[in-house]
Structure 1
Amino acid sequence: MAILVILAIVGLVALTLAIARLYSHLAVQERRVVGAWDQLERLLVQRNGHLQQVCTEGGDRGPAALRDLHRSLQRQETARRQGDLTTVAEAEREIRSLWDLISSQGLDLKAEKEGEAGRRVAALDQAIRDTLVRYNSALDAYQRTRRAPFYAPLAWLAGMGRYLPLQPPSSDKTSR
């Protein structure tokens, strides 16, 4: 009888450790998704701040696309704060196409400011693309794990979040 009690206790401890290991693995995957999203948000805020400064410096004398860019930046910021990934992606496509249009037309700013803004935005755009790839990759791994037979009930019980993929802009002519 004592052996059965000891075996039951050992079995419960082993089961508890197995569940803790599964949960830990799932939580690490979720943290990777959240971390990539946080990085993406930081980069979007930085890049959009530079673009907003260009819009402000261009003022009313700049091309009409500057005003459209300003509206798209505001739309994306609102969507980002609300967690509306579909609108974030749509606004991102608008922002990139408008920036390409504005860059090709040239701005009525000092040449060094225009060149500096272009370099900063280009560098941040590349970082955004790279982070977008990391986000979607982490999300894919998380979703596969979350759907696995032993993980699915655990994810449901733990209230693990469901996240959506964020697709890169299709109108991006600088992608490789």
Structure 2
Amino acid sequence: MPSKSNKEWANIVSTLTGGYKSVANYYDEQEATSIHVLTVLKEGGKVCATIGLMDVQHEPPTEILMDSTSEDVKLENIISMAAFFIMKDGWKIKPGAVFETLVSEYHPELELKHLLFVPQYQWGEALSKVELEQGYIYPLLAVGITNEELDFISQKGVSALENLWEQNNINVLDWHRSSSV
């Protein structure tokens, strides 16, 4: 059962993003662990957010956001898989963290194979540090990156990749894009 803070979070995201919203419960393969995922279908794509990741022992408390310029990408499956690695295996997320091969589990046809966690930028300060009844959470945006971009990060760092994206006007919300390097 979602807590009051979980519901607050879902309402904040759905209000800011607009569109048709739904919430579904996703289970791991053993059906032992679950996470709620909010999906908001909007003109020109969809937004997904975990609901309840903030309740896991993770400092600082966080939730994951994903955004896409198309509706055909299985963001719900990808975001729930990332949440399960955090909840069950203790994986840590922070700006610059990469979860390798998660995208390719559901979309082997895409060039984007991995998830890179970055501060969200689409909604400004409203979703950077969110005050809820239980305290603050610090949501992160998960964007897809290619093998070449992963190699670039290991050589030059995340900031260099973000600068490259900015200089070349790369739309990181386009999950069908090619590598930027």
* TM exceeding 0.5: no
Q: Which has the higher helix share?
A: 1
Q: Which has the higher strand share?
A: 2
Structure scoring higher RCO (CA < 8 A, sep ≥ 6) equals 1
TM-score with structure 2 length normalisation? 0.24
